Chain A
Amino acid sequence: MNVLQIAYYTVLRNIRDWKLFLLLIGAPFVFYLICANITTNVNHGINSQKFKIAYLDTDSGPIGQQFERFLQTQEILTAFDIQKADSLDAGNQMVKGGKIEALIYIKKDFSQSLKQGKKANIEIYSNKSISATRLLVEGFINTVNASSAIPKIAGDINVTEVSRGIQQIAISPTGKTFTDSDKSSFIGLLEMLSYGALLGCLTVINIIKKNTLLRFNISPINDLNYVSGQFLGNYLTLCPSSGLFIAFTYFIWGSAMQGSILIIILTFLVFTVIITALGMIVGYLTKKTGLGALISVCLNALLSGAAFVWMLGTARGFMNWLVFFSPQYYVYLIVTDTLFDGFTSRIQASLISLAMAATALTVVTLFLGRRKAI
C-alpha cells in the first residue's frame, strides 16, 4: 500500500461527497462565468493607442503660445494625438461623441492673470480618465512655474465632468494592465479558489469523527505515508478548480499575456498546496466541523481581503502588514507581472515566498497529521 492508493481513495471519497465537491468546484466555476461577463478586456493603454486630445487656446498671450509649443514637442507627440478645437462647444461635442479623450481649455486672459500675480486655471473637459491628460497639463504648469520665475504662481487644473463613466486608467511599463474590474474579479476568483481549504479541513475532521482513523491506526502503514496520501488526495481534488482558473486567466486575460503560462501554472500548483495544507492544519487543530469550517472561511476571507485592500491601495496598519502573509497577494503579483511583463525580480521573489510558505505549511501538516495514540 502506498501513498498513491490512499490518495486515490481520498479523491474518490471527496468526489462522492458531491455537495462539498460541487461547492468547491462549482462555485468558482459560476464565479468564472460571471467574471467572464463583467470583465472588460484588459486595457491596452497609452502605448498601443495614442490618447486623442484637443486643445482650445483663447488666450493668445505668450503663455498660451508656450503651451502650444509644448504640445508639439516630440515626447508629447509620441503619446498624444493632438488637434485644435474650433470652439469650446465644438470641443465638448468631440468629448461627448468619444472622438477625443479630453479637451484642454486655456481661458482668455490666462497670460494676463498670471502676469498680475493672480491664479489662473487650465481646464480639462473629459468623460474618461483624466490622468494622462492631467499629467500632461501638470507637466506644463511645472515648466511654466519654473521658467517664469514668478514664485508661487500656480496653475490649477479644473476638471469638468462632461458625462458619467469616468474610468481610471493605470499606467504600467508597457502600458497594459488590469482595469479595476479585472483586479476585483481576479482577487474574487482567488478567494473562491481559497475556499478549497474547507475540503482539507472537513476531510480531516470527518475521518476522526467517523472513527475511520482507527482503521489506519491499526494497519501496517507508516504515519508519513498515511498523511501524505491524504494530503495528495485533497490536493488532487482541488486541482481541477485551479486548472479552471488557469484556463480562465489564459482565455480572458491571456490576450495581454507577455510572460510564460508556465509561471502561472507553477504558481497555482504551489498555491493549491498552500490552500490544502492550511485547511488540513485547521482541521487537525480544531477537530470540530463547525469551528473548523468557520476558521477556514474566516482565515481565507482575511488573507484574500488583505490582498484585495492592498490592491485597491487602501490598506492601512494591520492590513498593510498582513498582506505579506497573504498567499493571494503573491499570486496576484506574479500573475499580473507575468501577464503584463512586470518586474522579473518581483515574480521571482513572490514565487520563492509562495514556495517557502508551501513547504513550511506542508511540513506542519505532515507533523500534525501523525497519528497519535491517546
Chain B
Amino acid sequence: MLVEVRNLVKRYKDVLAVDNVSLAIEEGEILGLLGPNGAGKTTTINAMIGLTKADSGEIVIFGKNFKDHELEIKRDLGVVPQDIAIFEDLTAYENLSYFGKLYGLKGSLLKDRVEEALEFTGLLDKKKQYPKKFSNGMKRRLNIACALVHHPKLIIMDEPTVGIDPQSRSHIIQSIKKLTKMGSTIIYISHYMEEIEGICTRIVIMDHGRVIAKGTKEELKAQMTSDERVVVELSTANYTLIDNIKKLAGVKDAYVNGNELTVISQKNSKNLKGIIDQVSESSVIMSLNVEQPSLETVFLTLTGRSLRD
C-alpha cells in the first residue's frame, strides 16, 4: 500500500467536510476521486498532505506515518492544487527551477527536469515568458508542471485540466499515462468523466464528505441495477413494430421517435437478436447502438446529482 488514509475527519464549524473517509492506494495506480461540488474531495487531500489540519484520522504514506515523517514524505510528493499556485513575476522557467530547488534539485539535473516538465505540459516555447501574460489554460499547465519537476512518487492532481482546451488536455492525459508507466502513483480529481474513465484504474466516489462507492469502473457499473438501452435507426418511421417488440423477453418499454426506435430492457436480458429480427422483418436498420450504463449514470444514480450541475 502506497497510501493509507483511515477514518479521516475534518469539520469546518457547521460543515462536516470530510466524514470518516478511508482510502487505500496501491503503487502504480491512478485513483480517480469523483464527487459533486462541495463533496469534500479537496479537503480530503489537503488533510492528507498537511495543508489542512485533520480533526482525527490516520495518514500513512510510503509506509510512514505522516505526522512523524512529514518532510521526508513531502520530498516524494507532487501536488497540482485546484487553485493555481505559481509566481506570476517569475518566468515559467524560473518558477520551475525555484520549485525544483525546493526539492533539492540542482545543476544539470535541475535543468533537465525543468525542460522535461515544460515539454510535458507543452510550454517549452514559453519558458522565458511571465505567467502574468499567460492565458488561463497556460497557467494551469504551468501549475501542473510545477508538481512534476522533482519526479514525485505520488502525484495528487486536483482538477488539473479545468479550462484547458481539448487538444492540450488529451496531450496531458497521455502524459499522465506515461507518468504511471514511469512508476508514479496518481490521485486524480476531476469532473471530466471521460478523463476518469480513460485513465483511472480505480475510482472513489464521494458525496457529503463520505465515500459512497469505490472500485474499478467495471465493478462500479456492475453495482448499478440500471437498464440497458438499445437505439435503432431505421430507414423510415415504423410505428407498427412496437407491439411485437414489447413482447420480447426483458423489454420494459419501447417507443419510436421519428426514425429512431428505442428499446429499454432489463440488464442482461440478452434480447438483442430478437430485436434485430423483429425490426429486420419490416425495415432496414441504418445503425444500432447499445448503451451500457456509463459512469455518468452511475454517478447520477449514487448522488442524485449530475457531475456538473
Q: Which residues of A come within 8 Å of B, CB atoms?
A: 1, 5, 9, 12-13, 16-17, 210-212, 214-222, 373-374
Contacts and interface: CB of A to CB of B under 8 A. Distances in A.
Most chain A Cβ neighbours within 10 Å, of B88, B99, B102: B102
Contact of B53 (A5, A12, A222, A374): A374
A224 to B, nearest CB: 12
Contact of A373 (B51, B75, B81, B98): B51
Interface string B74-92: 1101010101111111100
Contact of A1 (B53, B77, B79, B101): B101
Given A9-B90, A373-B52, A374-B53, A218 B84 contact: no
Interface residues of B, number: 28
Given A5-B101, A214-B85, 5 more contacts: A13-B89, A216-B102, A219-B74, A220-B71, A220-B75
Nearest to A218: B79
Given A1-B102, A373-B52, A218 B87 contact: no
B72 interface: yes
A220 B103 contact: yes
Nearest to B76: A220
A219 B89 contact: no
A5 B102 CA distance: 9
A212 B87 contact: yes
Given A9-B98, A220-B74, A374-B53, A215 B85 contact: yes
Contact of A217 (B51, B75, B99): B51
A221 B90 contact: no
Interface in B144-188: 146
Nearest to B72: A220
A219 B103 contact: yes
B208 to A, nearest CB: 22
Interface pairs A-B: 9 shortest CB-CB: A219-B102, A220-B74, A16-B89, A220-B75, A373-B53, A211-B85, A220-B71, A214-B85, A218-B79
Interface of B: 49-53, 71-72, 74-75, 77, 79, 81, 83-90, 94, 98-99, 101-104, 146
Given A17-B89, A212-B85, A212-B87, A218 B49 contact: yes
B72 to A, nearest CB: 7
A211 B74 contact: no
Given A1-B103, A214-B81, A13 B51 contact: no
Contacts of B72: 220
Given A9-B98, A210-B88, A374-B52, A215 B146 contact: yes
Nearest to A15: B89
Contacts of A222: 71
A302 B173 CA distance: 57
Contact of B86 (A212, A218, A219): A212
B252 to A, nearest CB: 51
A373 B103 contact: no
11 contacts: A13-B89, A17-B89, A210-B85, A210-B87, A215-B85, A218-B51, A218-B79, A219-B74, A220-B72, A220-B103, A373-B53
A221 to B, nearest CB: 6
A220 B102 contact: yes
A226 to B, nearest CB: 9
B153 to A, nearest CB: 13
A220 B74 CA distance: 5
Contacts of A211: 81, 83-85
B90 A16 contact: yes
Contacts of B98: 5, 9
B84 to A, nearest CB: 7
B102 A214 contact: no
Contacts of B85: 210-212, 214-215
A215 B102 contact: yes
A304 to B, nearest CB: 30
A117 B172 CA distance: 107
A156 B85 CA distance: 77
Most chain A Cβ neighbours within 10 Å, of B81, B83, B84, B85: B85
Nearest to A9: B98
Most chain B Cβ neighbours within 10 Å, of A9, A216, A218: A218
Contacts of B49: 218
A211 B81 CA distance: 9
B106 to A, nearest CB: 9
Contacts of A1: 101-104
A4 to B, nearest CB: 10
